[in-house]
Chains A and B, each alone.
Chain A
Amino acid sequence: MPETAVTSLPGTNKPLSATPKPFAPEDEVALREALKRCSPSTFEAAVQFRKTGNAEHVPAVVIGIIERFVEPDLRMKLKDADDDLRLIEDLGVDSLTMMEIVILVEDVLMMTINNDELRNLRTVGDVKTFIDCKIRGLPLPKPTKFIPIEHIGAVMPMQPPFLFLNEASVSSTSANGKYKISGQEYFLQGHFKDNPVMPASIMLEALGQLAVLYLLEGVPTEPGKVVSPQTIFFTGCEGVRAHRVCRPGDILTLSIKPKRMKMPLATFEGSIRVGPEKAVIAEEITLTYAFVDAVISPVPISGVAQSDVINGAQAAPAPTPLRAAINA
């Protein structure tokens, strides 16, 4: 490969070049022109990135470019956005605007983004992580996976009536889930007498279950290894606070993010909301886990099939209680 290669090879994810071309004054002029409708801080971040190659500047550039293409009245959302802000639903970015964003990002950060890589970018967080991985030459994160109830039941060690997730999505950086308190939960008969309230301990359990799902579905593994459901156990938690009483009919919106991953311990932060209201915060939930050898099998077609193979014993039709959970 020639040393002067400026761009990455099409279809590969190699860094641009080991020794980037020095940032010349004419490059700065071109950069200023390309970013003329972005904020000054976006331009500054782009200059810093081009001069130093330091990936720390990338999020500011990417957010600045997205902001430039979003209608002015929607830009406020981006100001105090978290990474879950969705490009299409929340920011009104259509696929043509997405192409405009991509072309400007490519131009400014001197990279190439392929069509198939674009499809998985749903949130601001997805875009930031994706570009960061491209710049650093890391493997691209797995796209956010939406996991239906059938699949949750198939992969989780917990089963109804002790499974508190109706749906979930898992990416390499977080997991989100929902659980509707149906009122049929057996423990509500005694918690409390004539006054059904979701136990805080069970809400912490629900967050723990989402963290288990993250370990099984989201955590990057070594080739040939998978996380074994039999090895995951609770070890501790810190800073757990309940802010709101939750009752039948409430829909719990759960989210967890990994804070530290160091075998055999994985520490998460977690929160539960009901609509806009804070219900439970857990500063730390720590689980243990371990890898086992993956079962060698033909390459499956779908994600569901894959899990069925890994958890061969659980591939049977869902037991009756699970169906109840589906309907919850």
Chain B
Amino acid sequence: MSRVFITGLGFVSCIGNDAITVTCNLRELRHGFELFPPFQRDDIPCKVAGPVRDFFTDSPDPEDWTFPARYKIKRELLRSMAPNGLYAHCAMLQAIDDAHLTEPDISNADTGLYAASGGSLFLTHYFRERFLKVGVMRCSPMGIVQSIVGTLNFNLVAAFKILGASCGFSSACASSAHAIGYAFDDIALGRQKRMFVIGAEDGNFDAIMPFAGMRTLSLQTDPNIASRPFDAARDGFVGTGGATVLVLENEEEIVRRGVKPYAEILGWGQASDGYNVAISHPEGSGSAASMNNALRASRVAPGDVDYVNAHATSTLIGDVSEARALRAVFKQSAERPAVSSTKALTGHGLSLAGAMESAFCALALREGFIPGNAHLTRVDPECGGLNIPRTTENRAANIVIKNSSGFGGANVALVFRRV
């Protein structure tokens, strides 16, 4: 079995569009929320979101978009992208640069790409409007590849001339964590030497608002307290978008290329609730099973875990379910690992969440800190019995777990180690 390392990161997020800014905001617990202009209407009770800055993708026509000038993208590539494709393309360029990869390192049979986004409801809705208005024959020939759930992998594989394994993952908010898990497997089993893993979401009106009907969005009007996982007064999640890219490589490659990895991935596990299409299992059974599977696969004892980056989205049911799962896994030592949800800073990135928060763990492992759980005033008694630090701890964790859960009760846990 090959060992697997994280060697490059790229970010377009509401808390920064590069690793340095993101690290700084994570450490200092600065959130990326604002009163989101598209939500400021009387008929919309939800007001706050975590939009990405410096990218303007309001138009359905990619040629209208503006983005930082350091990214040069040809029309030929841009025309088939959704907003999340643009974010991912830019994050990809950062990650390639960060990992010091050359063109031959990227385009070869041993390098693959796994991606996850929810597609683009924004463009899907726009194309349906065009369907009805101008007829099916005058809809954009890019309509499908631009909007359906695979749009990220279609675009990135073509743009970066990927020749190895490629596919998309669709398990809602566990999608990009699944992508990391399977990318790990491909490298560990010797099928690939290097994998790009990408999570991305549009994070705009059409991506976030469908959750209003489920009553899962926070209705807070103060951006400073809208997202507060594990807090007794939490009232739902805050939506966000953007993209995160991770470069995963085997040991042979990091030695050959002489690069210093962020962290090692020790293993992963998954399990399902088998319970409800959208509601987490009240006891967190699937989440607990996924953590146990991950620890067993990684040969790590629960007592050796220093930090858990929780899935906790700041919803009423979800956070309690995960807290119960954590207590079940860590038992007597439940107070040992620090537990925090960085969604207090970013909000919930849906398909992006697993990749973004795994990248946060990689930053924390390399920089030697444990991000606190921001905006926590009074811990919900249902979430008690855990060590949830309110502020960032300036100590290096050795073993970290990243939890992700998605609709249908899909649960993934990833285990990272400091190098």
A: residues with CB less than 8 A from B are: 37, 71, 96-97, 99-100, 103, 106-107, 112
Measured in the bound complex, the distance between the Cα atoms of B383 and A197 in whole Å is 97
As a 0/1 sequence over residues 110 to 149 of chain B, the CB contacts with chain A under 8 angstroms (1 = contact) are 0000000000000000000000001001101110000000
Interface presence of B76 (CB below 8 A)? yes
Q: A37-B63, A71-B74, A71-B76 known; A107 and B141 CB under 8 Å?
A: no
- Cβ < 8 Å to A, chain B residues 72-94: 74-76, 79
Residues in chain B near residue A100, CB distance under 8 A? 79, 140-141
Residues in chain B near residue A37, CB distance under 8 A? 63
Measured in the bound complex, the distance between the Cα atoms of B80 and A100 in whole Å is 12
Residues in chain B near residue A106, CB distance under 8 A? 137-138
Measured in the bound complex, the distance between the Cα atoms of B116 and A82 in whole Å is 47
Of all chain B residues, which has the CB nearest A112? Answer: B137
Residues in chain A near residue B63, CB distance under 8 A? 37
Measured in the bound complex, the distance between the Cα atoms of B142 and A95 in whole Å is 12
From A71, A96, A107, B142 is in contact (CB under 8 Å) with A96
What's the least CB distance linking B159 to chain A, in Å?
14
10 nearest A-B residue pairs (beta carbon): A99-B141, A103-B138, A96-B141, A106-B138, A107-B138, A100-B141, A37-B63, A71-B74, A71-B76, A96-B142
From A71, A107, A112, B75 is in contact (CB under 8 Å) with A71
Measured in the bound complex, the distance between the Cα atoms of B143 and A103 in whole Å is 13
Of all chain A residues, which has the CB nearest B75? Answer: A71
Write 13 A-B pairs (CB below 8 A) sorted by A numbering: A71-B74, A71-B75, A96-B142, A97-B76, A100-B79, A100-B140, A100-B141, A103-B137, A103-B138, A103-B140, A106-B137, A107-B134, A107-B138
What's the least CB distance linking B138 to chain A, in Å?
5
Of all chain B residues, which has the CB nearest A7? Answer: B135
What's the least CB distance linking B386 to chain A, in Å?
52
Known: A71-B76, A103-B138, A112-B137. 12 other contacts (CB 8 A): A37-B63, A71-B74, A71-B75, A96-B141, A96-B142, A97-B76, A100-B141, A103-B137, A103-B141, A106-B137, A106-B138, A107-B134
What's the least CB distance linking A300 to chain B, in Å?
33
Number of A-B contacts (CB under 8 A): 20
Measured in the bound complex, the distance between the Cα atoms of B139 and A100 in whole Å is 9
Of all chain A residues, which has the CB nearest B63? Answer: A37
Identify whether the interface residues of B are mostly helix, strand, loop, or mixed. Answer: helix
As a 0/1 sequence over residues 205 to 240 of chain B, the CB contacts with chain A under 8 angstroms (1 = contact) are 000000000000000000000000000000000000
Residues in chain A near residue B74, CB distance under 8 A? 71
What's the least CB distance linking A5 to chain B, in Å?
15
Measured in the bound complex, the distance between the Cα atoms of B138 and A96 in whole Å is 13
Measured in the bound complex, the distance between the Cα atoms of B75 and A237 in whole Å is 50
Chain B CB within 10 Å — which of A71, A96, A97, A99 has the most? A96
Residues in chain B near residue A99, CB distance under 8 A? 141
Residues in chain A near residue B134, CB distance under 8 A? 107
Measured in the bound complex, the distance between the Cα atoms of B63 and A96 in whole Å is 16
Of all chain B residues, which has the CB nearest A92? Answer: B76
Residues in chain A near residue B142, CB distance under 8 A? 96
Of all chain A residues, which has the CB nearest B134? Answer: A107
What's the least CB distance linking B97 to chain A, in Å?
25
What's the least CB distance linking A30 to chain B, in Å?
11
Of all chain A residues, which has the CB nearest B76? Answer: A71
What's the least CB distance linking A134 to chain B, in Å?
15
As a 0/1 sequence over residues 7 to 33 of chain B, the CB contacts with chain A under 8 angstroms (1 = contact) are 000000000000000000000000000
Measured in the bound complex, the distance between the Cα atoms of B261 and A293 in whole Å is 82
What's the least CB distance linking A71 to chain B, in Å?
7
Of all chain B residues, which has the CB nearest A106? Answer: B138
Residues in chain B near residue A107, CB distance under 8 A? 134, 138
Measured in the bound complex, the distance between the Cα atoms of B134 and A107 in whole Å is 9
What's the least CB distance linking B68 to chain A, in Å?
20
Of all chain B residues, which has the CB nearest A98? Answer: B141
Of all chain B residues, which has the CB nearest A104? Answer: B138
Measured in the bound complex, the distance between the Cα atoms of B130 and A103 in whole Å is 13
Measured in the bound complex, the distance between the Cα atoms of B410 and A193 in whole Å is 89
Of all chain B residues, which has the CB nearest A96? Answer: B141
Of all chain A residues, which has the CB nearest B74? Answer: A71
Measured in the bound complex, the distance between the Cα atoms of B142 and A97 in whole Å is 10
Measured in the bound complex, the distance between the Cα atoms of B79 and A71 in whole Å is 13
Measured in the bound complex, the distance between the Cα atoms of B76 and A100 in whole Å is 11
Of all chain A residues, which has the CB nearest B141? Answer: A99
Residues in chain A near residue B76, CB distance under 8 A? 71, 97
What's the least CB distance linking A116 to chain B, in Å?
14
Of all chain A residues, which has the CB nearest B145? Answer: A96
What's the least CB distance linking A157 to chain B, in Å?
46
What's the least CB distance linking B151 to chain A, in Å?
15
Measured in the bound complex, the distance between the Cα atoms of B142 and A112 in whole Å is 19
- Cβ < 8 Å to A, chain B residues 244-262: none
Measured in the bound complex, the distance between the Cα atoms of B141 and A97 in whole Å is 9
Measured in the bound complex, the distance between the Cα atoms of B75 and A37 in whole Å is 12
Residues in chain A near residue B140, CB distance under 8 A? 100, 103
Measured in the bound complex, the distance between the Cα atoms of B153 and A76 in whole Å is 34
What's the least CB distance linking B311 to chain A, in Å?
39
What's the least CB distance linking B129 to chain A, in Å?
15
What's the least CB distance linking B132 to chain A, in Å?
16
What's the least CB distance linking A31 to chain B, in Å?
14
As a 0/1 sequence over residues 28 to 55 of chain B, the CB contacts with chain A under 8 angstroms (1 = contact) are 0000000000000000000000000000
Residues in chain A near residue B138, CB distance under 8 A? 103, 106-107
Measured in the bound complex, the distance between the Cα atoms of B79 and A103 in whole Å is 15
What's the least CB distance linking B308 to chain A, in Å?
46
Measured in the bound complex, the distance between the Cα atoms of B78 and A37 in whole Å is 15
Measured in the bound complex, the distance between the Cα atoms of B141 and A37 in whole Å is 18
What's the least CB distance linking A111 to chain B, in Å?
11
Chain A CB within 10 Å — which of B63, B76, B134, B137 has the most? B137
